[in-house]
Every structure is written in structure tokens, then in C-alpha cells.
Structure 1
């Protein structure tokens, strides 16, 4: 399995999972669709679908062009309503149900963000095992058995936000009431059985309220796992169920 990160911050989020047969699952569509086509070398034939966590533009701005291009989009009914247009390629997801997109099996679950019906995903595939995708949430209600890979938000740190946003209570409250801190990220990871986890990828870091180097070190120290900070254009070629 190959994981390609098109972008991962408040300007836009989009991740491509491509298996050895060439099937690609798009997770989040928060960049111009032209960037997604470029990353796929303008070949959309093997795209099995696109799954989206919520309706904010940095997660769905390319959705209109995606469905026009013939890609099926899966999200909760609340998220689909937030797109504010209707299309026959929208597929409403019920949380807890399994959706099969090509060789990928997807389960959506509740998260806590400032929109209607946001969700996270468990993504299962024989090549990468079970991957947790968790972003734009204050915390997670669940722990998950049998994880092999994790993409998780580490948006800000409590120390940085206390210093930088001390005089802006509105923005400070907006961040802490809608995103996951690195401290909560560590607590969430430690609440899960990480013995079989090969990769932890930190996503959606704030441009002003995070420190990628420090966050990476803190989570490596807490989990003793391989930690990668998601950056635009990064590809992880060995995003598999086994490390080699």
C-alpha cells in the first residue's frame, strides 16, 4: 500500500491510498480537484471512491468537480447536506456500517467537531490491515482493536496556544472546541493497543499553533513507534500491515 499526502493543514486536506493493483481510495477532498488529478496522473479509472469526514471547505472544496468527474463520494447524511447541492454520486453513510469500495472496507464513527454529523474512519485492506483516520475532533470516544496504521490530528499544543492566542479568546475557544491537541492525541494513542501499529502519521497540524519537530518527538517518546508528520507531496511507500 502507498499513502500519498496531497495536503494536510487548514488550507486543504487530501490523502490517496493506492494498493498494489492500482486501486485508489481518496480520503478527504479539500483541495482543488485538479491537484488530485495531477497526483493520479490524470487517470481516474482506478479510483474506487472518495470518503469525507465533514463539510468544511478544507475537507470538501473539490467535491463538486469530483462527482462531475464520475467519482462516488461517501459521507454522512449531515455532511452531504452541508455540501449544499444534490448529486446522484453522493452516498450517505450510516455510522457503524461497513462500506466496500473496491478492495477497501470502510466504517464511519462519531467525532466531535463544530458541524453536523462529522465522522472518523476505520479503513481496512488486506495490504495495510486496519488504519484509523481521525481528524477535526476534540477527542475520540472509542478505542480500536487490531490497528496497524494510524493517521491522527495533532493540531496544536496547549502551551503554544496559551502563549500565541492569549489575547484572542474567540479564536482560542474556536480551536480548542473543534480540534485535537497534541496532548489529547497522545492520550488517544495510548488508549489503543499499538503493538501491531507500523506507522503513526500526524495530520492537520496548525500553521501557527504547532511545532512539527517537537510534536513528532513527543509522540515517538510516548508510543515508541515510527512517527511521520504529514506534509504536502509526501509519499509513504510501505504503508502496510507488516513493516517490511
Structure 2
């Protein structure tokens, strides 16, 4: 898999993932013009866009993406909040009412096929309607990508991960120091804790999952004021022994 970071953080998120026969965007949280520029105006190469939830830093360009003829995949709740109901280019994930194998212990949604890729959405913990994250399996290369952003924690364990893209929004000590020093409002602090992953939560997730096949970790969505880039990279490398890219 070839992963390219187009934008990451509270000002906008957009990631390009090229697999054996397919090129996907995950998120479109910057302007359509910015996406065009970053892709050198080769929008025809994009087969689909996956959106995790309705917040603008993840979905800003969705209506322009649809107008340009790109299929956008998302939950029904996200479709409602983005007001793109009934658009013929919107594909909603269908819920399952039973549990099954797949790479997660419990599965809420049916997987969809895009080219050689099985896309499996799974629920996240965030203050929007029906947010999801993604597990992607390229059936040709047999490589997997786990994409996790904007969630307080991850409810599931995964059998195998080749590439991990994971949010590490804040460091708990840095966040609490900012509250004590009057830099951060306590209400905003509580909202961050209830909706985003800390370094401590990321470390817990890494310890709970099988990382034996992991090739690379991309750390996304760092807070400008509440994170510590050097500490985050050092601690994740210490736990995993893998290559870590701070997005």
C-alpha cells in the first residue's frame, strides 16, 4: 500500500491510499481546490472517498466530491448530518443484526468491495451521528490498513494489521497542565477527553492488539497545543519497535 498524507489535524484531514488496483481518499476535510492541487489535478485517479463522520475537518469537500463524480462512502447518520440524502453517488454502509468473523471480534456493518479492497467500517466514539472508522483489506496484496481517528477509544481488537493510521490527539499531562495554567477551558478539556484519543489510550490499544505483521504507523490528528510530538513518537516506537510517521 502507498499512503500519502494530504492534510492532518483540526484544520483538515485528507489521506490518499493506493492499493493494488484502487486509489482511495479517506476523509475530504479540506477544500476541493486544495485536494485538486495536492493530487496535481488528477482527480480521475480517485475511485472513491471514505468519510468517517460529519465534522467539517473530515468532510468539508463532500458536496464538491459528489459533483465531480466521486462515490462517497459513509454511514447513514453521517449522510443525514451532511445533508446529502438520496444523492446517487453516496453509498451508505448497511448495518448487520448479527455477529460474524471478519478481522474484528464484533461487527456492526456489512463490508463493501471497492476494486480489490474489502472495506469494513466499525463504530467509533465521537459526538456525531453514527461515526465510523475503517479496516481495509487488499485482496490482491493481502495487505491491511487500519484507520482510526476521532474516537475516545477503540471498542474492538484486530487479528492482523500491516499499516496503522491512528489518532493521537493529546497527552493527558499536557492537557491537564493547560487547564491548570488557564490556557484551556475545563469544558473544552472534557469534550476533548470524551471524543479523542490520548497517547495513553493509544498505548493501551497497541498493547491489546496483534502487531506482529505491522510495517508502519502513521500518527494523525495531533492537537496543536495539547500534544507533544517528540514524546508521542518516542513512546509509540518504544512500545512497538516499528517505524512511526507523525502526520
Q: TM-score, normalised by structure 2?
A: 0.89
What is residue 192 of structure 2 aligned with on the other side? 175
Q: Do the aligned partners of 2:74 and 2:91 also contact (CA within 8 Å) in 1?
A: yes
1:148 aligns with 2:162: yes
Report which structure shows greater RCO (CA 8 Å, sep ≥6): 1
Ranges in structure 2 where 5+ consecutive residues have no aligned partner: 95-107
Deviation at 1:128, TM superposition (A): 6.5
Q: Deviations over 1:157-186 (max 9, x none)?
A: 110000012342111111101100010001
What is residue 118 of structure 1 aligned with on the other side? 131
1:193 aligns with 2:210: yes
User: Partners in 2 of 1:85 and 1:76 — Cα distance?
Assistant: 11
Residues 131, 45 of structure 1: alpha-carbon distance in 2 compared, 3 angstrom cutoff? same
User: Partners in 1 of 2:220 and 2:26 — Cα distance?
Assistant: 12
Deviation at 1:211, TM superposition (A): 1.2
Aligned to 1:227, the other structure's residue is in SS state strand
Runs of 4+ in 1 over 3 A off after TM superposition: none
Aligned to 2:43, the other structure's residue is in SS state coil
- What is the aligned length? 229
What is residue 98 of structure 2 aligned with on the other side? none
Aligned to 1:45, the other structure's residue is in SS state helix
Aligned to 1:140, the other structure's residue is in SS state coil
User: Partners in 2 of 1:100 and 1:46 — Cα distance?
Assistant: 17
User: Partners in 2 of 1:48 and 1:99 — Cα distance?
Assistant: 14
Q: CA RMSD in A?
A: 1.3
What is residue 179 of structure 2 aligned with on the other side? 165
Q: Deviations over 1:92-150 (max 9, x none)?
A: 11343111112222000011001110111001113361111001000011110011110
Q: TM-score, normalised by structure 1?
A: 0.90
Q: Do the aligned partners of 1:128 and 1:148 also contact (CA within 8 Å) in 2?
A: no
What is residue 231 of structure 2 aligned with on the other side? 214
Q: Deviations over 1:21-48 (max 9, x none)?
A: 5x31000110111122222221222311
Aligned to 1:6, the other structure's residue is in SS state strand
1:223 aligns with 2:240: yes
Indicate the larger mover: 37-46 or 113-122.
37-46
Q: Do the aligned partners of 2:9 and 2:223 also contact (CA within 8 Å) in 1?
A: yes
Q: Do the aligned partners of 2:53 and 2:74 also contact (CA within 8 Å) in 1?
A: yes
Q: Do the aligned partners of 1:6 and 1:35 also contact (CA within 8 Å) in 2?
A: no
User: Partners in 1 of 2:179 and 2:135 — Cα distance?
Assistant: 34
Q: Do the aligned partners of 1:132 and 1:147 also contact (CA within 8 Å) in 2?
A: yes
User: Partners in 1 of 2:7 and 2:221 — Cα distance?
Assistant: 9
